[in-house]
Amino acid sequence: MFPHGRLLLAALVFSASLGVLVAVAAFLLGFLEASGILGPRIDDSPLHAVSFLSFVVAPALAVLSLGISVPASYLVWKVRSVRFTLVAGVAAAGSYALVAPVFLPGSSLLATVTAGTILAVAATASAYLWALSFPRSNKSLERTREG
């Protein structure tokens, strides 16, 4: 039997925390870019990058991840053998797969790896919060309901 409310809450926690952490990561990337650590920059590029990531990418990623995290929550609840490391690994790999095509054509390898790592850390932290908010199985309650 599915605890629908708790599974939906876990999916919402994942999506909201991913959106917030991506916005925080955008400010961190903007600071690194403004300081010149990631290489040469154009005049207002840090401001444009931070505003674009914070106000466009973070909310869009939160909404899109909600569409993925709801079915994933139900799947993990049904299978029950999925480990947190697998979920975190998929989130981190998805982060690099999302960043590489966007950054690589025009940015340095250091900037691409830095952005991918920051997004992977945000996705892994969101997956950890999702695992903490995921409902626990209550075997005695399930056995009582079954008869």
Residues 31-44 have pLDDT tens digits of 777 777 766 666 66
28 in any annotated domain:
yes
* pLDDT given at position 119: 83
Domain count, the chain: 1
103: tokens are 């950054």
34 in any annotated domain:
yes
The residue behind tokens 């952005």 is 115
**Amino acid letter at 83?**
R
Candidate from 11-20, 73-82, 104-113 with smallest mean pLDDT: 104-113
Q: pLDDT higher for 74 or 146?
A: 74
Is 147 a residue whose pLDDT tops 60? no
The answer to whether the predicted template modeling score (pTM) of the entire model surpasses 0.85 is: no
142 in any annotated domain:
no
12: tokens are 């919402």
50 in any annotated domain:
yes
146 in any annotated domain:
no
Residue 142: count of CB within 10 angstroms of its CB:
10
Q: Are 127 and 29 in contact (CB under 8 A)?
A: no
The residue behind tokens 């997956």 is 127
45-56 b/e (C-beta count within 10 Å ≥ 16 → b): ebeebbeebbee
32 in any annotated domain:
yes
Q: Are 58 and 22 in contact (CB under 8 A)?
A: yes
* pLDDT given at position 108: 73
d(CA 72, CA 94): 14
* pLDDT given at position 87: 79
* DSSP helix/strand/coil, 83: coil
**Amino acid letter at 128?**
Y
120 in any annotated domain:
yes
Q: Name the residue range of residue 34's domain.
A: 4-135
Q: Where does the pLDDT of residue 15 fall: very low under 50, low under 70, confident under 90, or very high at 90 and above?
A: very high
110 in any annotated domain:
yes
Q: What is the pLDDT of residues 38-86, one digit of tens each?
A: 666 666 665 666 777 788 888 988 898 899 889 988 888 888 777 778 8
d(CA 25, CA 54): 9
